[in-house]
Structure 1
Amino acid sequence: MSFEDRLVRPARPKSPGLAVFAGVVAGLAFLMMLVSVALGGNSGLIAIRSVAHPVLFGLVFLLAATTSVVAAVAERRAAIITASAGGAAVAVLFAAARIIDAGSYDEPDRPYQSPDGRYVLVVDHWSAMIDPMWDLVLEQKSGATSRYWRFGCVNGDYDGLSSVRWVSNSELAITVDDGEKRVKISAAGPGPVDPALRSCRGSYS
């Protein structure tokens, strides 16, 4: 063997199988991220709501895409280290989020069904540290195409939620400290909504 041959380093082993697998995972995660954003936000299909986690799917997409690229151009060990480190980082982020949420509490949801049974207003009473909050979510019952609208949230720092009742099949009466607020319901969802029913930070449907 010549001196020049001994200077040539052997090509590093690639991992095409791992690259393809990680690429498929990245594609599925990206698709689920788009579905979560489009159909699982403050309004959308009830069937999608339980699996709509755009941040989680976005992180999985970035991790899988990075692993796919590393597996295609570097050693298998580097790809495994990348996937392991990224997975650990995602786990730490969600563990930190759970710790932050430890100071809040949830009470059982309180459903209020319309007289004809087509709609249900779900009042989710929870707490952000010491502040009581009431999420207002309207659900339309129509089988596989059942929809929901998160149309309001009452912040206990500004108003307390006193009572909820259906005036008719298409109108709600929600009483807060500021008085009774009426919300009309149509096929497009609830609205218009009084600002007193949107005193929490965030966006609504």
Structure 2
Amino acid sequence: MRLSILILLSLLAGGCALSPQQVNLNPEITPAKEAPYLRGSVAVTVFDGRNNKVLGSRGGAYANSSKLTLANDFNESISREAERVLQSFGLEIDNQNPLLTFNIFLEELNYRVPDGSYVTQVDLDAGLRVEIIKGNRTYRGQYQAQSQHRVVSAPDEEKNEMLINEVVNSALSRMLSDRSLLDFLSTP
């Protein structure tokens, strides 16, 4: 009987300890349905302006050691996907002598779970800022995305990767579907 109780307690305690995770960011931007056809060249630069590169804690009994971080280079993955979408608009990538400069700044990317041993919810948010320079004109915009997910247990690495990509995709898609941004790009 005592052995059964000890085994049960050790299983419960072990279930509360979560390992750190690294997830890959693989953005897939959904541009505006009525995307403009543009001509010219563009240089895309991405900046990760976060002070802390840890997305958050996965929670559990040892929340301080169950950190969630990105496994791949944020700047490279976002830049590659933004270039793909801008090329679909008709722009050519030219990092040497572009007609316009498209700067994307990651302001925040957060992963939060409630305090305590058991993870029942995951809250995510992403915040981007964009600055586009075209000749002597500049466009500035900010884009946010949030999501909240109820869970029965702490998400595994695959699920966390999906959740993080989902919130980043949402912020990026809002940016590249923003009518005022698209109008700015379309104006000669």
Given the two structures, how large is their TM-score scaled by the length of structure 1? 0.27
Given the two structures, how large is their TM-score scaled by the length of structure 2? 0.29
Q: Which has the higher contact order (CA 8 A, sep 6+)?
A: 2
User: Which structure is higher in helix share?
Assistant: 1
